[in-house]
Amino acid sequence: MPNLYGLYILFAREVWRFLKVFIQTILTPVITVLLYLLIFSSVISSSREMLPGVNYLTFLIPGLMVMAMLQNSFANSSSSLFQSRLNGNVIFMLLAPISDFELYLAFVGAAVVRGVLVGLGVWLASCFFAMVPLRHPLYALLLVFFCCGSLGSLGLVAAIIADKWDHISAFQNFVIVPFSFLSGVFFSISDLPEFWQQASHYNPFFYLVDGFRYTCLGVSEIPVFTSLWVGAGFFVLSSTWALWLLHRGYNLRS
C-alpha cells in the first residue's frame, strides 16, 4: 500500500523549507531576471525582430522564465537532499515506511512547485516591460512540468553523487548554467554559425525554451511537438536515473 500520508508530510516539509526563506529562493531569482531584462532591453533595441512578428523583448521574456525555472528546480532538490546527507538525517527518511518512488515524488514535486512559483514571479515582474500572452496553456503546462520535473530529478542525481558542496556547485556552474545560456534564451539559434546551430539541437534545454516560447508567442524555430517529445524523453531519462540511484541507496545507506 502506498504511504500517501508520509508522501504528503515529506512533500509539505520540502515546500515549507524553501518558503521559509522565500526572499532567497523566490524573490532573488526574480530580481536577477529583472536585471537581465534591464540590461538587455537597454543594450539591444527592443524593436529588433527575432522571429516573425516578435520583437527582442517579447522574445526574451519566455526564455528567461524557462531559464529561471530550470535553475531553481535543480537548486531546490539538490540542496535539500545533500544537506540531509551532510546532517545525517537522511537515514530517518530511509527508515520511514516510504518507498523510493515516494521519496522521489516528494523531492521532485517540491522542486516543481518552486520552479513554477519562480516562473510566475518572473512573468509578473516582466509585465512592467512587455505583456507576454499565453496562447497555448495546455502545451505550456506540459513543458513547465517537463522542465521543472527533469531538473528536479537531476538535482537528486547531483545530491546523491556529490561528496561535498563544491561538487553541487560544479554541476550547476559547468552543466546547468552553460546549457541554459546556450539554449536560445538570449538569441535565435539561426543567428549562430552552422556548427553551433547543429550543436544546439543536442541541447535538451533548447527544446524546452523554444517550445515554451511557442506556447506564449505562437511562433518557434522548431515544431512544438518535437519540443514536447524531447521534453518528455528528457524527463523520463532523468527520472529513471534518479530512481535507480535511490533504489540502489548509492551514497545514502553507506
Q: What is the pLDDT of residue 155?
A: 96
Residue 206 within a domain: yes
Query: d(Cα 64, Cα 30) in Å, to the nearest integer?
Result: 10
What percent of the chain shows pLDDT beyond 90? 60
87-120 burial, b for 16+ CB within 10 Å, e for fewer?
eeebeebeeeebebebbbbbbbbbbbbbbbbbbe
Mean pLDDT of 228-247: 96
Residue 109 within a domain: yes
Q: Per the structure, how many domains does the chain have? A: 1
Range of the domain at 132: 4-248
Average pLDDT, whole number, for the chain?
90
Asked if pLDDT for residue 235 goes beyond 70, the answer is yes
Mean pLDDT of 29-48: 79
Residue 254 within a domain: no
Residue 253 within a domain: no
Asked if pLDDT for residue 49 goes beyond 80, the answer is no
